[in-house]
Amino acid sequence: MNTDQGSQFTGSAWITPLTEAGVRISMDGRGRYLDNIFIERLWRSLKQEAIYLEEIDDGFKARRVIKYWMAFYNTRRPHSALDRQTPDEAYWAGLEEQKAA
């Protein structure tokens, strides 16, 4: 399993069960956010646009907030990298192009 070096992945609560299960662990180099820039950008957007704006008291509320934001992100939020389309619009347009080819 490959992770970054975030504290949630370097603590014994994470490492011990994986090691005991025989899972081989590898970690990206320190500060190597560019290795996975797309997901790092997604997490930044999620935190800034949803998590930090809500008072989250438990896992149920966290799940609702994240689920709502992910639906918004994929279906209603235009992305400059997708020529101002939503991810859903870009995905379905790509499928239509493939069918036509």
Distance CA 80, CA 75 (A): 14
Residues 5-41 have pLDDT tens digits of: 777 888 899 999 999 999 999 887 766 666 677 888 8
What confidence score (pLDDT) does residue 100 get?
80
Return the domain boundaries, the chain.
1-31, 41-101
pLDDT higher at 3 or 47 = 47
pLDDT at 35: 66
What gap in Å lies between CA 57 and CA 67, rounded to an integer? 16
Q: How far is CA 77 from CA 1, 10, 33, 45, 95, in A?
A: 32, 34, 24, 11, 20
- What pLDDT score does 38 carry? 82
Q: What is the pLDDT of residues 51-75, one digit of tens each?
A: 999 999 999 999 999 999 999 999 9
